[in-house]
Every structure is written in C-alpha cells, then in structure tokens.
Amino acid sequence: MFKQGWKRNCRKASVAALLGLTTAGLTVPVTQADVSNFNDFSSSRELSDSELAQQRGRFVDKGSLMFFGVQVTSEWQTSHGEHLRAQGHLVGDLRGETPNVSFEPRITTVTADSAAADALTGNGATVVDAGTGNARGVVQTIQAAGDFNTAANDLQIDVLDASAYEGGAAGNSGSLERRLPSGTRVSVSSGSQGVGVSLDVPGMGSAKQAIEPSQGLRQSIQLTSDLQKVRNLTRLQLYMGQRGAHADVPGVRSAIESARGLSR
C-alpha cells in the first residue's frame, strides 16, 4: 500500500498526466514560459545516487501502473424536491500490450409530484459566461444569481494498490439522456469530443463537467434561483502494483534491449 505522503506529493503532478491518459491521448498543450531566473540556485548541488535512493514516494516504476479509473459525477437537489444524479464511469486495464478501456453512463432521478405539475421558475436572473471557454487545464467556475445556494466543484485523486481494483465498467454505451416532465434534462456522453455529464434545470440553472481534447477538465455551475444544492465531482483513481518478473514487463524488456548493446 502507498503511504499518505505519496498521495500528497503526486496530487498536483498527477492531474495533467491522468487527464491525458484517461482520454486516450487528449493532452493539454504546454504553454511556453518566459526565460526563468536561476540565480537562487547558484549555491545548489547535484544529488548523488545514494541520496536519490532515499527519496520515496516521488517516482514509480514504468511497469507499476496497472489500472486507472475516472468517475465524473454531478448531483443536484432542487428547491422543488427533485434529486438528480448523472455519472460517467471510465476505466482502463493496462496490463496487456493494448489498453482495454470501457465506459458506463448512469443516471438517477427522483421527481417530486409538485415539480411535475408546476412549471419551474427562477428569480428572472441570467448568468453570462464570457471568457472561461478560452481557459485550459483544470477550469472550475461557479456563477450564482440567487440566494442561499450551496455549490461546489471538487477534484479528487486516489493512488491505490492494484489489489483493491474491483473490475471494469459494466458496459460500453457512449451516451445516455433523460428528460423529466418538469423540462429538466440529464445527460451523460462519451466520444471524440471527450467525456462529460450535464444537468439542465429550466429556470434554475445548469451544472456541467467534461474532459475535452486540448482543453482538459472543465467543471461549471450556473444558478439562477434560490435554495439549490449542487456538486460536481471528478475522481481520478490510479491503481499501482507489481507485474511479474518476466520479459513482457515494459521496464524489464527495455533493460534487456539496452544490455544487448553493451560491449563484451
């Protein structure tokens, strides 16, 4: 099992790497920075091999990543009594030469009788989103034009032992959508444009999440009513383990190929 220190050390560094991995090559371009000033490192020194050997929780073996998972979940409790939940579950098995990836959409809705009979109306306010579409990486926005609302965008990264892996998603359906009598639209999708979930409640607002090509992770909540409870959660799971000591392990195979070029 990995220590808690490993989770803290790898949390920030893992975000960009995992986003690219789970979207099968959908990476975020790196922005070139200005020339840095290294004067503060003038008195630094190179670490020896023995010192590097004592650094734990910072490096992993090339063949240690065995499974990964992504859960994108949006949940909404409206002031009218509706309870909405949309989830996209993406998992990958990296034990073979070719990754095996599957996706399963899930939608759960509980509709109040009053919500189905009465038209959902907000407070008449509108939310204008200008500019956030140009941002890349991990983008989280909350825009509320109402009172007594609860909203949150969360990103969670778990580094787990491969023995804790419980299996892949049950299906491979690319999309799922449900429309309620109140006009509410709940959808989960997966395709060339990425993986995403969306909740659209007329008169009250919307909640969306997506992992998009060349953009990254985007989480947004827009509210135009009062007394709403909304949460977006993207959970990235990385399962680490040791493959058998045989030539099919990528790290072992590359070491053997390197040894063949040595002078005898």
131 domain residue, yes or no: yes
116 domain residue, yes or no: yes
At residue 105, the pLDDT reads: 92
Q: pLDDT per residue over 89-130, tens digit each?
A: 988 888 877 888 888 999 999 876 654 445 456 776 777 777
55 domain residue, yes or no: no
How far is the C-alpha of 109 from the C-alpha of 107, rounded, in Å?
7
90 domain residue, yes or no: yes
Higher pLDDT, 78 or 36: 78
At residue 249, the pLDDT reads: 46
Kindly list the distances between the CA atom of residue 206 and the CA atoms of 80, 81, 185, 192, in Å, as whole numbers in the listed order.
15, 16, 9, 23
Please state the pTM of the whole predicted model.
Answer: 0.67
179 domain residue, yes or no: yes
Position 246 confidence tier, pLDDT thresholds 50, 70, 90? very low
**Containing structural domain, residue 88:** 65-240
43 domain residue, yes or no: no
Q: What is the overall mean pLDDT for the chain?
A: 75
Higher pLDDT, 16 or 110: 110
- Would the pLDDT of 84 be above 80? yes
How far is the C-alpha of 143 from the C-alpha of 17, rounded, in Å?
28
Query: Which range is least confidently modeled, 6-15, 91-100, 148-157?
Result: 6-15
96 domain residue, yes or no: yes
Cα 25–chain centre separation:
14
DSSP 73-124: EEEEE-TTS-EEEEEEEEEEE-SSSS-EEEEEEEEEEE--HHHHHSPP---S
Position 13 confidence tier, pLDDT thresholds 50, 70, 90? very low
What's the number of domains the chain is made of?
1
Higher pLDDT, 158 or 42: 158
230 domain residue, yes or no: yes
At residue 192, the pLDDT reads: 78
Evaluate whether 212 touches 193 at the Cβ level (below 8 Å).
yes
At residue 132, the pLDDT reads: 73
